Amino acid sequence: MQSSILTKYAEAGPPWYTIYPAAPQFSTAVGAEACKEWLRDLPADEPVSLYLHIPFCRSMCWYCGFPTTGTRGDAPILDYLTVLREEIRLVAEQAPQALPVSDVHFGGGTPTLIGPAEFLALMELLRHRFAFTKTAMLAIEIDPRTFRADMAEALGGAGVTRASLGVQSFDPIVQKAINRLQSEEQTATVVENLRRHGVSRINFDLVYGLPNQTVHSCIQTAAAAVAMRPDRLAVFGYSHIPSFQKNQRLIDEAALPDIAARAEQAAAVAETLVAAGYRQIGLDHFALPDDQLTLVHEAGGLRRNSMGYSADTRKTLIGFGASALGRLGDGYVQNEVATSSYSRHIRAGRLATSKGCRLTDEDRVRAAIIERLMCDLEADVPAICAALGYDPIPILNSAGRLAMLANDGIVDIENGCIRVRQEHRFVVRAVAASFDAYC
């Protein structure tokens, strides 16, 4: 990829477009009352997805950009679980009846810092408050460094079928630079324990663009990951924003690769994974040919939501926990980010919604176009607008940057259908930004 294209587009800073409008457009004008209203209006027979955020880790990784807190003891986690259980009760009581649930995802932080007994009790509460479908999918994020064998047994017993393991890099030099020491053997042991207890679908998260990382070390990490045969891999580019994430100030900026080196690393990882039999999906995901994500993508039904690329087609996502994001009928809601503020609201018997966004008809159209670009690298704008009863002309006329993207050879445009050329898939966010009315 030409360095001029990378400089112009790849690092221009558009949103990741897991949702649209993006979180910076959220307003405090949408709060707890709106959330209550939207929860009450949810169709009683339409399955929903649940997300539970556990914002604790045993130690802070310096690269991390997620809202989490380091704790060596269990007391803060147990206190948080008490509040989380109360929030589940408060939210469930807003619905006219127990809502059907088809997907549950535990994120963090490190959700598996919850002990086996506490996790099973939490799952029992969810099953009591909601009506789980027979085919409900349960997934959880795992830090292999703190994972215990008895937790694998608890996950299997609770019906968890998918686990996402943070790997980032197996290079010890890179690991030291980001304060995350994790061996291949440690990771392989966790994978083995999970599979033994029925958690058979395994995801790995890899990261490029880390301090002291090289193309060679990226290839070695990808090869080591492939040897464990995860079903999916997400390959993210490290975002260095020390002004926003204080822990990132501990990273040596001089050791970070430049734009061209990052692109070489991303391409090398992609080539390694594709050569090993994985299908490249969207911007940064890879999956085995028989994985559900691949099958849904090939059928044209891939979705992108607040957790990234997904086969989950549900319109509604209910978020629990500090900072958790939800997608309800008329818009997005987000809980208080600070655990203390979140807990204070819930303990007082109030929902912890701090801000959100009420979607307009135009937002929905633009969101659909952006999602198709991010998922399929193409979007038929007139067809999408027609399906949603919207005039495509104003949308296309407002996308002034498309002409520049076409002139630079990044996209092809034919009768309102936008296609990103494969060699420029890494700048698809810049193409999506052409349809972002808030950029």
> Per the domain annotation, does 347 fall within a domain?
no
Same-domain check for residues 8 and 59: no
Same-domain check for residues 249 and 194: yes
Of 326, 350, 374, which residue sits at a domain end? 326
Distance CA 338, CA 330 (A): 25
Q: What does the DSSP 8-state code read for residue 404?
A: H
**Can you give the pLDDT at residue 8?**
76
3-state secondary structure of 99: coil
> Per the domain annotation, does 346 fall within a domain?
no
Domain count, the chain: 2
**Can you give the pLDDT at residue 10?**
63
3-state secondary structure of 381: helix
Any idea what the CATH number is for the domain that residue 92 is in?
Answer: 3.80.30.20
Asked whether 308 and 285 are in contact (CB, 8 A), the reply is yes
Distance CA 434, CA 198 (A): 44
Same-domain check for residues 205 and 292: yes
Low-confidence ranges of the chain (pLDDT < 50): 1
> Per the domain annotation, does 381 fall within a domain?
yes
Q: What number of other Cβ atoms are within 10 A of residue 129's Cβ? A: 18
3-state secondary structure of 194: helix
Say what the alpha-carbon torsion angle 127, 132, 135, 138 is, to the nearest 10 degrees.
-50
- The H or E element spanning position 142 is strand 131-142
Question: In the structure encoding, which two tokens stand for residue 22, read together?
Answer: 């993006």
Same-domain check for residues 233 and 271: yes
> Per the domain annotation, does 425 fall within a domain?
yes
Of 280, 300, 326, which residue sits at a domain end? 326
> Per the domain annotation, does 210 fall within a domain?
yes
* Domain with 138 in it: 22-326
Looking up tokens 């704008």, which residue turns up? 381
pTM beyond cutoff 0.75: yes
Same-domain check for residues 98 and 166: yes
> Per the domain annotation, does 130 fall within a domain?
yes
Same-domain check for residues 277 and 373: no
Of 326, 345, 370, which residue sits at a domain end? 326
> Per the domain annotation, does 350 fall within a domain?
no
**Can you give the pLDDT at residue 154?**
98
Same-domain check for residues 6 and 65: no
| Type of residue at 50 | L
Same-domain check for residues 322 and 391: no
Any idea what the CATH number is for the domain that residue 416 is in?
Answer: 1.10.10.920
Same-domain check for residues 376 and 303: no
Q: Where are the beta strands (DSSP E) in 209-246?
A: 232-237
Phi, psi of 107 (to 5 degrees): -125, 180
Distance CA 167, CA 182 (A): 8
Same-domain check for residues 10 and 50: no
Same-domain check for residues 270 and 414: no
Same-domain check for residues 231 and 289: yes
